Structure 1
Amino acid sequence: MKLRIGILGTRGIPNYYGGFEHISEYVSEGLVKRGHSVTVYNSHNHPYSAATWNGVTIKHCYDPEYRIGTAGQFIYDMNCLLDARKQNFDVVLLMGYTSSSIWGKLYPKNSTIITNMDGLEWKRSKYSKPVQQFLKYAEKLAVKYSNYYISDSKVIRSYLAEKYAINSQYIPYGADVYTEAEREQFSYTEALNEDYFLLMARMEPENNIEAILDGFNHSNSNRKFKVLGDTANRYGKFITHKFANDSRIEFKGSIFDNNRVRALQNNSYLYFHGHSVGGTNPSLLEAMASEALIAAHDNPFNKSVLSSDAFYFSNAEGVKDLVENVQRKDIEKTMVRNNLQKIQYQFNWEKVVDEYEDFILQCYGQLNHERIITGQR
């Protein structure tokens, strides 16, 4: 069965922003290769302006976020939904719900609505209490107006089952394992022989950047600590100011060259992953695929992916201990190898796309059978 599928809720593809854009690239292209007709909605401000991308139809909708800030996201999502109502999609896949679920009554009535339920956005400490309350409400609306649900983390799947008594399909993100030829490119002068620690994250409090750098700052390490991420926001400026006197800490800014990022991950002595909110994090999977030795914040999201194949920390003192004591011996090599196998067998993109296709077909068939039985179609 070949379906007409619309993917909404992202800024668009190819990815210039984040996780949902990243997975939408792979899923949309993969579904097209499997014979489906797929449309992805892009902001009119997206750098990619063509009408198709690798066989995927691109719909550009007006997005006023650049003029009016966050409120523009809601208008953009409304514009996408209004257009989707005209397209007669068999399935609409919504990536997240933050600014779309308030328009639940606009969801196309004859389409099967599947929502990827995101990563418990209301827990993010960067949001004020009123915003956190709104995000809880948006989550509730997403449950109400969707027919089926996807969770990219087993922790989120359990949360949704307990909170709303709904079943959601667990489908994680994926990552690419590099070939031997690609691995030979891991030889940048900036990425020399495991002589530095590495952190890659958006500059946000829930990513535990301050705790990680505090721990390193108080350590006796002679290694450098490279920090990848845009420091232009308020929190980024606070972090760079706080650690300006530690010459070992290098703020490298955002790096969009994926080969360079993977080289830095691969050659780091220890890769710190501080994310504490959300589902399966793409940058964590890429670090695993790049064969980095990982130290992760101690929380259920990270443990559900890494299990015993990582070091864990909860505070700056724990980071200091890791910085001063982690070795690179046989046990650590086994941890790296085990994480690579997880990418190969659990988190590879072909498997992820297969699972998306299987679930989409299952949902479409089930809902249409129910509609025929009840005379809704």
Structure 2
Amino acid sequence: MTLSKLADDDEKLVSWYKEKGLKKKNYYLVVGRFVPENSFEVMIREFMKSNSQKDFALITNVNDKFLNELEEKLHFKSDDRIKFVGTVYDQELLKKIRENAYAYFHGHTVGGTNPSLIEALGSTDLNLLVDVGFNKEVAEDCALYWSRKQGSLAKLIDKADQMSADEIAEMGRRAKMRVAEEYTWDKICGQYEEAFVNGEN
């Protein structure tokens, strides 16, 4: 995986941050489809409970029905930190927004190896993943884990906020190494090839 070609002072990035009220390394991020199985309710509820002074930016296609349900349950609109910032189709810009996040949430609870998780590990230093088997298989010790139980993620956010820049950089280094070693096309194709060959015996 390669880093974004955009510089921190790129006009596109600067104006996006200004428009959304965000600052580099001062926001938690999630990118994904706005559906219940991606843990949006848990992430918003727990972020609201946390003591974080940072923002929570949600890059997603908003579904009004689900949004209204969440607002009724959580009243997140009263929390200035929670920012639904729409979708970002410019891939270089999205990559840069990921790289500049303080931390990334991954709340997918269904499916296997998720491409957006590989992207997050390859670009964001600190990743906070919902504790399900396939997330652990992908990230191993290169991420921190939370359960969907009340209080679990809020506690982890407060802990993440206290981590030193060195600790976070080390997590990022390990995550990028893992992606580079485990999730290359060569390796994936090789594994498929092996499965086909062994399947014939």
TM surpasses 0.5: yes
Aligned residues: 187
Counterpart for residue 362 of structure 1: 197
Does the Cα contact within 8 Å between 2:30 and 2:58 map onto a contact in 1? yes
Q: Does 1:334 align with 2:170?
A: yes
Q: Extract unaligned runs of 5+ from structure 2.
A: none
Q: Shift in Å at residue 331 of structure 1?
A: 2.7
Task: Name structure 1 gaps, 5 residues minimum.
Answer: 1-176, 368-377
Deviation, 1:183, is: 4.8
Instruction: Tell me by how many angstroms 1:245 deviates.
Output: 1.8
Q: Give 1 or 2 for the bigger CA radius of gyration.
A: 1
Q: 1:235 offset after TM fit, Å? A: 2.1
Instruction: Please name the residue that 1:317 is paired with.
Output: 151
| Residues 299 and 217 of structure 1, relative CA distance in 2, 3 Å threshold | same
Aligned with residue 207 of structure 1, among 38, 46, 49? 38
When you count strand as a share of all residues, which structure comes out higher?
Answer: 1
- The residue identity in structure 2 corresponding to 1:193 is K
> Structure 1: how far apart are the matches of 2:83 and 2:181?
35
Alignment partner of 2:84: what SS? strand
Q: Secondary structure at the match of 1:253?
A: coil
**Bigger RCO of structures 1 and 2 (CA < 8 A, at least 6 apart):** 2
Question: What are the Cα deviations for residues 255-274 of structure 1, in whole angstroms up to 9, with x where unaligned?
Answer: 22221221111111111111
Is it true that 1:345 corresponds to 2:149 in the alignment? no
Separation (CA, whole Å) in 2 of partners of 1:186 and 1:286: 19
Bigger CA drift: 252-261 or 347-356? 347-356
Q: 1:221: Cα distance to partner?
A: 2.0
The TM-score with structure 1 as length reference comes to 0.45
- Provide the rounded CA distance (Å) in 2 between the counterparts of 1:261 and 1:205: 23
**Is 1:244 aligned to residue 77 of structure 2?**
yes
Aligned to 1:80: none
What is the correspondence of 1:76-225 to structure 2 with a 5 Å cutoff? 177-179=1-3, 182-185=4-7, 188-189=13-14, 190=17, 192-225=23-56
| Aligned-residue offset at 1:186 | 5.5
What CA deviation, in whole Å up to 9, does each residue of 1:287-322 have, x standing for no partner? 111133100101111111111221111134122112
Cα pair 1:279 1:301 within 8 Å, conserved: yes
Change in CA separation of 1:349 and 1:238 when aligned onto 2, cut-off 3 Å: farther
Match of 1:292 among 125, 150, 153: 125
For 2:121, what is the secondary structure of its paired residue? helix
Are the structure 2 counterparts of residues 220 and 333 from structure 1 closer, same or farther at C-alpha, using a change threshold of 3 Å? same
Whole-angstrom CA distance in 1 between matches of 2:25 and 2:35: 26
Distance verdict in 2 for CA 1:220–1:259, change over 3 Å: same
CA contact (8 A) 1:198 1:265 kept: yes
**C-alpha contact (below 8 Å) 1:291/1:336 kept by paired residues:** yes
Residues 284 and 278 (structure 1 numbering): CA distance in 2 closer, same or farther, change over 3 Å? same
- Alignment check: 8 A CA contact 1:266 1:292 kept: yes
Tell me the distance in 1 between the aligned counterparts of 2:70 and 2:98.
22
Secondary structure of 1:303's match? helix
Change (3 A) 1:256 1:267: same
The residue number in structure 2 matching 1:33 is none
Deviation at 1:351, TM superposition (A): 2.9
Higher mean alpha-carbon deviation, 266-275 vs 184-193, is at 184-193
